Amino acid sequence: MKYETMRKKVLALMKWAVVKPLMALSSFAGLMLPGGGTASAVLMIALPVLIFLYFYKTNPGFFREKRKKIQDVYMEEFIEPMLRDWYPDVTVEEKEKIPFEEVKKFLPSSEEYTQNTAIQFHDEKDLRIQNCSAWHQKSGKNRTYIRDFLGQVFCMNSPVSIEGEVRIVPTGRSKFMNKEVQRRYPPCERGEKKIDTEDIQNNERYDIYTNDEMGARRFLTPGRLRKFTEHFSEREISVYLKGSKLYVAVNSGYSLFRVSLNSLEFWQMNYEEECERFRDSLGDIKDICEGFEE
């Protein structure tokens, strides 16, 4: 029952955001344009759309606020109650819960970063998850945005505490001679050194930078490296360890717990299927966390 109530509220907000403004503009165009003829009919359809697109471009705040209201209803009346059935202490917020200055250290180098939908489990790991995206603008005549990252960032208590910092980021290969290169992620910085491990496969897939080699070696044990390779060989994952906090970024290609703004897709959404999908996602998250246990 609560699910149906939430769905009706979201659909009503979607109508107010797009459909009703278009209907109002269409009625206005019908009154203003001369009657009869194909040209008038085409203008009656095209003019409201053009006005709407102009308004959308010049007043993004109006539509941003509508999208925020839709997301708030979806989170408060569906996602949070569903999560609390599985994790009674969980809290969900749209505010940033993982420090942005830390996130930039282990995400691909980019120009713009956004975070949303923070989930805090309040468990022994102090696990927090947040959606994150990063993109940059391609130079040229036409403004083009290139997505560098879309996925989730995790923060939890580390099984090993160190004095300094460790960054583990995916490496790349050059087109010429297939040489190992680092172009997407921040390279070795001042005070850091690049280290290798006993795991050859891991060395080929990841660059490891640290300002605390002894601490890094204590964290990168053979058992943890083996688990790391087994769990993450098919994913694009980066890791950042600072003191007692462990951060993980998973470039999954999607955002968790975001409502579809397509009214038809939203109307066809099935409660049981959505619950199962989110349960699978949370199981995947737990697997990632366990991948760092010894």
Confidence check: pLDDT of 165 > 90:
yes
pLDDT in the model for residue 62: 46
CA distance 97 to 130: 7
pTM over 0.85: no
**Cβ-based neighbour number of residue 85 at 10 Å:** 9
Domain chopping of the chain, boundaries: 91-258
When pLDDT is averaged across residues 11-36 and rounded to a whole number, the result is 52
Structure confidence at residue 173 (pLDDT): 62
Residue 200 pLDDT greater than 60, yes or no: yes
Q: Is the dihedral of CA 254, 64, 274, 88 positive or negative?
A: positive
Q: What is the 3-state secondary structure (H, E, C) of 240-292?
A: EEECCEEEEEECCCCCCCCCCCCHHHHHCCCHHHHHHHHHHHHHHHHHHHHCC
Does 149 score more than 90 pLDDT? yes
Supply the Cα-derived Rg of the chain in whole angstroms: 24
- Is residue 237 a contact partner of residue 167, using CB atoms and an 8 Å limit? no
Of 102-106, 174-178, 247-251, which range is least confident? 174-178
What is the share, in percent, of the chain residues with pLDDT greater than 70?
Answer: 69
Q: What's the chain's average pLDDT?
A: 77
115 or 259: which leads in pLDDT: 115
Beta partners for 194? Answer: 209
- The pLDDT assigned to 49 comes to 54
What would you measure as the largest C-alpha separation in the chain, in angstroms? Answer: 82
- Count the Cβ atoms, other than its own, within 10 Å of residue 122: 13
The span from the CA of 79 to the CA of 47, in Å, is: 39
The rounded percent of the chain whose pLDDT value lies above 90 is: 26
Please say if the pLDDT value at position 97 is more than 50. Answer: yes
